[in-house]
Amino acid sequence: MIWLVLGVALWAAAHMFKRIAPDARKNMGEKGKGVVALALAASVVLMVLGYRAAPVVDLWYPPAWTLHLNNLLVLVAIFLMSPAPRKGKIFNKMRHPQLAGFRAWAFAHLLVNGDLASVILFGGLFIWAAAEVVMINKAEGDWQPTQTGTYAKDAMFLVASLILMAIIGYIHGWLGPWPFPGAM
């Protein structure tokens, strides 16, 4: 589990580095982008290896219906992480749509995984995304939304999100649990 904890901590530290130590990040110049990217890649490797190696310690047993809610939240997460909130109309006034999508994704996975490793991974990433919003808001102050887009763009990105979810779901089922109950 130590690799898992280190991976989540490194992910958070790498993302928050420029807010926690702005002068140190600034002094690194363009090279700093590579260092941060390397730290993020290492964090993903640590999280994957740590999660796969973690012993199963069940904390609760999620009911079967949570899988449906999980899939809906993951679809919302994919949509929020797309360009839709900036180019569409529905979520145009949302300041941090990608981080909201990331939190929706993490929460969705907490709903269907009641083991300790999942709580560490998805709970840790959820907390990071929430803290990141607070840090960005504090550092950047007031914000104004961009020009409102159209419902047609929202519809286009919704269709793209559905297609992407099907692809991600297929890969998810290939690597781990099948995410679509009743479909196979």
Q: Classify the phi-psi angles of 182: left when phi > 0, otherwise alpha if psi is within -120 to 50, otherwise beta.
A: left
Task: Record the tokens describing residue 80, joined without a space.
Answer: 């929020």
Predicted TM-score (pTM) of this structure: 0.90
pLDDT surpassing 60 at residue 120: yes
pLDDT band of residue 149 (cuts 50, 70, 90) is: confident
Helices 97-112, 124-140: crossing angle, 10 deg rounding: 160
pLDDT band of residue 142 (cuts 50, 70, 90) is: confident
**Are 127 and 88 members of one domain?**
yes
**Are 95 and 118 members of one domain?**
yes
The domain total for the chain is 2
pLDDT band of residue 181 (cuts 50, 70, 90) is: confident
| Range(s) of the domain holding residue 134 | 56-184
Q: Which of 26-30, 96-100, 123-127 has the weakest average pLDDT?
A: 26-30
Give the residue-averaged pLDDT of 69-93.
Answer: 92
**Are 45 and 78 members of one domain?**
no
**Are 41 and 75 members of one domain?**
no
Give the residue-averaged pLDDT of 154-179.
Answer: 92
**Are 184 and 110 members of one domain?**
yes
**Are 88 and 148 members of one domain?**
yes
